[in-house]
Amino acid sequence: MKIAGYNKLDKPNGNESQTIMSDLIPPPIRVGAVSYLNSKPLIEDLEELADNAELMLDYPSLLADDLAAGRIDVGLIPSIEVIRSSEYEIISNACIATQGPVLSVKMYSRVPLGQIRRLALDMGSRTSATLVRIMLAEQYGVYPEVEPLPIEQAIESSSADAILLIGDRAIHAPEASFVATWDLGEEWLRWTGLPFVFAMWAVRRDQDTGLLESALCRARDKGVTLLGEIARREAPKLGIDESVAESYLKNNLSFYLGPAECCGLRLFQDLAIKTGLAPEGVPLVFRNCISAG
C-alpha cells in the first residue's frame, strides 16, 4: 500500500515527529473485493491507482456482512444488498454484469423445474440466491424451501431437488447429470431482454472515499485491456483452460454499469419487492451523480 508523500517527512526529534506523522497520515480506506476470477479485471493495480486503499478479497456474501458491520469501508457487494439497504451508495460505474449466459451462475435441478421443493443456495451468494427464487416464483409458481450449501461443499453433498452455484466453482461442469440446468444470466436475458448486474461497488453513506471512485474506474479501464493476460495468469490457479477463462472474461461478463444495466437493476428491485425478498422504498443512490439510467 502506498501512502502519498508522508513517508518522505524528515524525523527531527524521534517521538515528536511520530506524533506529527500519525496526525498527517489518513487511515487507509479498506476495500473488499470478490475473490473470484470475475473480479480480477476490476482490481488490476487498484492499490497503486488508489493511493490510500488497502485491498482484501472474500466471498460476496461475506463482503456484504463486512460492509454492513464496518469492517470494510467500500465493498464489491452483491447488488441485492444495495437494493435491500438505504445505508448504501453505489460508487463508480464499475460492476460485474452480464448480458446473456454468465457461465458462473448456475442452477442444477434433479427434478422438472415446476417440481422443485427444496433448493440449496451457495452460501457465497446473495444476488443469485434471490434471482433464482424470483425466477422460480414468477415463471413456475414455485416457492421452494431454501437451505444453505456451504462454500466448501460440493453439489453431491446436497440432497436438495435443485442447487444454485456461483463463482469459480460453477465454471466447472458437474459430473452428475441433471434434469434441467439454468444459466441465470441467460434465463434473465431471455425473460426480460435486459442485462443483469450481480455486484457493484458500494459504500456506507457517511463514508468519505476521497478519490477512490476515479481509481475504481481507472482500475477497471486498465483491467478490461488486460483480459487475456488476466486469464493466462489466473486459469492455472482455477484448473480451467486459459481459453475458457479468457472467453468468460471477454464474452460472458461486462464491467460497466450503463443505462441498460441500470434498467435491469431496477427491474430486479421491482421483482424482489414483489416476491417479498426486498423492502419497498429503498432508493438506488449513485455517489457523485453517476447516471442511474
Ligand X SMILES: C=C(O[C@@H]1C=C(C(=O)O)C=C[C@H]1O)C(=O)O
Which chain residues interact with ligand X by CB under 6 A?
34, 36, 38, 60, 78, 96, 102, 104-105, 125-128, 166-167, 170, 198-199
Cell for 261? 444495466
What distance in Å separates the CA atoms of residue 180 and residue 187, rounded to the nearest whole number? 12
Closest CB 79 distance from ligand X, rounded Å: 8
What distance in Å separates the CA atoms of residue 168 and residue 129, rounded to the nearest whole number? 16
In the chain the first and final C-alpha atoms are separated, in Å, by 35
The answer to whether 275 and 60 have CB atoms below 8 angstroms apart is no
Q: Which is nearer to ligand X, 198 or 268 (CB)?
A: 198
Q: String of b and e for 135-160 (b: at least 16 CB within 10 Å)?
A: bbbeeeebebeeeebeeeeebeebeb
User: Which is it for strands 88-98 and 162-166: parallel, antiparallel or unpaired?
Assistant: unpaired
Closest CB 78 distance from ligand X, rounded Å: 3
Phi, psi of 176 (to 5 degrees): -70, 160
Q: Which is nearer to ligand X, 78 or 195 (CB)?
A: 78
Closest CB 106 distance from ligand X, rounded Å: 9
Closest CB 80 distance from ligand X, rounded Å: 7
Closest CB 257 distance from ligand X, rounded Å: 14
Q: Which is nearer to ligand X, 52 or 170 (CB)?
A: 170
Q: To the nearest 10°, the Cα dihedral for 150, 244, 133, 139?
A: -150
Q: Which is nearer to ligand X, 36 or 286 (CB)?
A: 36
| Burial grade of 78 (CB within 10 A; 0-12, 13-18, 19 or more) | buried
Closest CB 195 distance from ligand X, rounded Å: 12
Q: Which is nearer to ligand X, 50 or 202 (CB)?
A: 202
Q: To the nearest 10°, the Cα dihedral for 270, 272, 274, 276?
A: -150
Phi, psi of 108 (to 5 degrees): -105, 125
Q: Which is nearer to ligand X, 52 or 200 (CB)?
A: 200
Closest CB 171 distance from ligand X, rounded Å: 8
Q: Which is nearer to ligand X, 162 or 166 (CB)?
A: 166
